[in-house]
């Protein structure tokens, strides 16, 4: 399938930090937005950019293949986070994004994320075959 993905395509979305997205080891009670949760939201922003703007066929999606993110500042439960993704490189089905997250006060995270475009039925078939081999 030929994809018409364009450089500098962008997506912005806003989320609210939930209790299940925080660390649990710093102190009792509500803690801070965790690094894995921030990265997960950045990845989803990139995925949605591809799905909404370029991958209209339900048989195509993308998976994350590289994450290089700095978590720069803490953010509490209930804070609104603005996530931004921009396509900065395209190598066939390998797409590189510049990502950032900020709260009302400051940038809390930034970096790069790479996704690979997949055909879901083919990906699923390969995965099922791998599961079978692992269970032999």
Show which residues are catalytic. Answer: 35, 43, 71
Give the single-character DSSP code of 8.
T
Name the phi and psi angles at 42, rounded to 5: -65, -45
d(CA 21, CA 10): 25
d(CA 19, CA 37): 11
**3-class state of residue 21 by DSSP:** helix
């Amino acid at each position: 399938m030929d994809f018409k993905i364009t450089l500098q395509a962008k997506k912005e979305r806003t989320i609210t930090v939930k209790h299940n997205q925080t660390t649990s080891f710093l102190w009792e009670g509500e803690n801070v937005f965790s690094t894995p949760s921030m990265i997960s939201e950045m990845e989803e922003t990139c995925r949605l950019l591809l799905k909404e703007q370029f991958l209209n066929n339900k048989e195509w999606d993308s998976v994350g293949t590289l994450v290089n993110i700095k978590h720069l500042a803490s953010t509490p439960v209930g804070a609104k986070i603005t996530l931004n993704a921009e396509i900065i490189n395209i190598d066939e089905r390998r797409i590189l994004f510049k990502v950032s997250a900020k709260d009302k006060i400051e940038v809390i995270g930034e970096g790069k994320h790479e996704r690979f475009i997949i055909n879901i039925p083919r990906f699923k078939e390969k995965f099922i075959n791998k599961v079978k081999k692992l269970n032999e």
